[in-house]
Structure 1
Amino acid sequence: MKIALYQMHVIPGEPEKNIEKINQWLDELDDEIDIAVLPEMWNTSYRLNELTELADEDGQRILPFLERKAKEIHKHIVAGSIAYKKGNEIYNRTIVVNNEGKCINTYDKAHLVPMFNEHHFLTSGSKKSTVYELDEIEMGTIICYDLRFPELTRSLALEDAKVIFVPAQWPKSRIDHWKVLLRARAIENQVYMVACNSVGACDDNEFGGHSLAYAPDGTLIDSLYYEEDTLIVDIDFESQEKIREAIPIFNSLRTDLY
């Protein structure tokens, strides 16, 4: 399975320009790509004080675009996350659309970042992320700061997720944490961690790039650096099964103790 990640320089406060960028990027993907992955908050970036005006109300603009585009190019789209407005609430919502143009999964970011005062502008999700299937493979998505809470990733692994996507706008100043946390989540859950970060800046926040993928044994498959670019990773599920057979961690879980 081939996966393309768009390490995108999101234009702050310009949803239409960002849609245009993504439309062009999707058009340029090779036919062999199965899944296209986008970063966090790609419609608005972190213009939090402008989200009331900028957020996509009920997904009316972005969801039809993603559904049409996925069907047109016949690729699954793990559409990072967007600022999504529902009533008076604004969520950081991930959307997954399959290659038939059907939205099959959504999740609202559960853990809001206190250092960015996200809770002043966004509503945290009230339901946990759930597993979905693409090409009959179980997958899941967490968003950026969720990565610091291992319980969420473990819950997806216990639902038999083989791949976990992490769209983010992770800061450059903490990019070492990004790499260590992703590798730890891969090893402890024996899953592929496929993480799509953005680059550039929004006001005083500089994003760190380093979109990457770790194998279930913690091996780095590939990584980008600080420029806008595309990362292509190839996922091998046979090797994942061998890793799980060699160290069957889930058979040793002590659910009677924790």
Structure 2
Amino acid sequence: MKVAIYQGQGKLAQVHANLEIIRQAAFSAVKQGAELILFPEMFLTGYNIGEAVFDLAEPTDGPAAQKASAIAREANIALLYGYPEKFETHTYNSAILIDQYGSTLASYRKTHLYGNFENRCFQPGDSLMLAKLNGLTIGILICYDVEFPEAVRALTMAGADFIAVPTALMKPYCQIANHVVPARAYENEIYVAYVNRCGVEGRLEYCGLSCIIGPDGSEIIRAGSQEALLIADIDKLKIEEMRKKNPVLGDRRPEVYDKLVKVFSGS
């Protein structure tokens, strides 16, 4: 499967303008053969929006999602983007995956919240999830989630071939994109797509450096610090080949790790 990643700044607190960016990028990606396009964390609204998040949050099936579904159908491409989700009295930092027919396959809520803004404005999600798209099993994490190796390993052991990570990584933490993300791909022998913002929002300057990393830890594509639309092939056979050469997952000793985990958790 050809997967596109869009690295961009978007328009702060301008949902309609950001949907238009999604539309244009989707059609451009299709022309290059992509079947799925990924956008950054909170791309629908902008990330650094403060208390405005409560006014801009929408349900999973809200007006913005309906427009995004129409874009997916019209362009004939699946898409994933970050957005603030409103559910009952709570607001979540979420990412929605919509297939090429306009159907919602998954809406994942960020489980590890980062910093004062997120902990003040969002409720953490309480579950990981997988979705199937065109023969690919996709796990979804958001930004800070990927810094927890347990989350990536759990998705891998549940069958993920590919993990999509919409993110809003800002300076001075660019080492996450350069070192941590490739390590997550290598240690789990899967593909990881890390899709970052670029530019400046208020006091935040984003790193860019979006990438897709292969199951051997190598960079397949890597953006710089500017707007970019990049495309890579995701080949499940590469995963099988890597795991035959280096069967690290099969050589795990969970019964040994479990003893120590129980000691430190008090169980």
Is the structural similarity TM-score above 0.5?
yes
Query: Contact 2:193–2:212 (CA<8 Å) still a contact in 1?
Result: yes
Deviation at 1:63, TM superposition (A): 1.5
Cα distance in 2 between the residues matched to 1:84 and 1:243: 37
Deviation at 1:172, TM superposition (A): 2.8
Query: Counterpart of 1:5?
Result: 5
Deviation at 1:80, TM superposition (A): 2.5
Secondary structure in 2 matching 1:64: helix
Query: Counterpart of 2:130?
Result: 131
Query: Counterpart of 1:247?
Result: 246
Query: Contact 1:48–1:118 (CA<8 Å) still a contact in 2?
Result: no
Query: Counterpart of 2:49?
Result: 47
Query: Contact 2:177–2:194 (CA<8 Å) still a contact in 1?
Result: no
Query: Counterpart of 1:217?
Result: 216
TM-score w.r.t. length of structure 2? 0.91
Query: Contact 2:26–2:77 (CA<8 Å) still a contact in 1?
Result: no
Deviation at 1:213, TM superposition (A): 1.1
Cα distance in 2 between the residues matched to 1:254 and 1:166: 28
Percent identity between the two aligned chains: 27
Amino acid at match of 2:205: E
Cα distance in 2 between the residues matched to 1:150 and 1:7: 24
For these two proteins, the number of residue pairs brought into alignment is: 255
Cα distance in 2 between the residues matched to 1:166 and 1:58: 18
Deviation at 1:21, TM superposition (A): 1.6
Deviations 1:47-81 (A, max 9, x none): 1221111222454122211222212221111x221
Query: Contact 1:59–1:85 (CA<8 Å) still a contact in 2?
Result: no
Amino acid at match of 2:184: R
Deviation at 1:210, TM superposition (A): 0.7
Cα distance in 2 between the residues matched to 1:224 and 1:178: 11
Query: Contact 1:97–1:103 (CA<8 Å) still a contact in 2?
Result: yes
How do residues 153-232 of structure 1 correspond to structure 2 at under 5 angstroms?
A: 153-232=152-231
How do residues 80-95 of structure 1 correspond to structure 2 at under 5 angstroms?
A: 80-95=81-96
Cα distance in 1 between the residues matched to 2:86 and 2:61: 7
State the superposition RMSD in angstroms: 1.4
Query: Contact 2:30–2:77 (CA<8 Å) still a contact in 1?
Result: no
Deviation at 1:28, TM superposition (A): 2.5
Query: Counterpart of 1:66?
Result: 68
Q: Structure 1 stretch 51-60 or stretch 215-224: which is displaced more?
A: 51-60
Q: Structure 1 stretch 151-160 or stretch 172-181: which is displaced more?
A: 172-181
Cα distance in 1 between the residues matched to 2:129 and 2:34: 24
Deviation at 1:43, TM superposition (A): 1.7
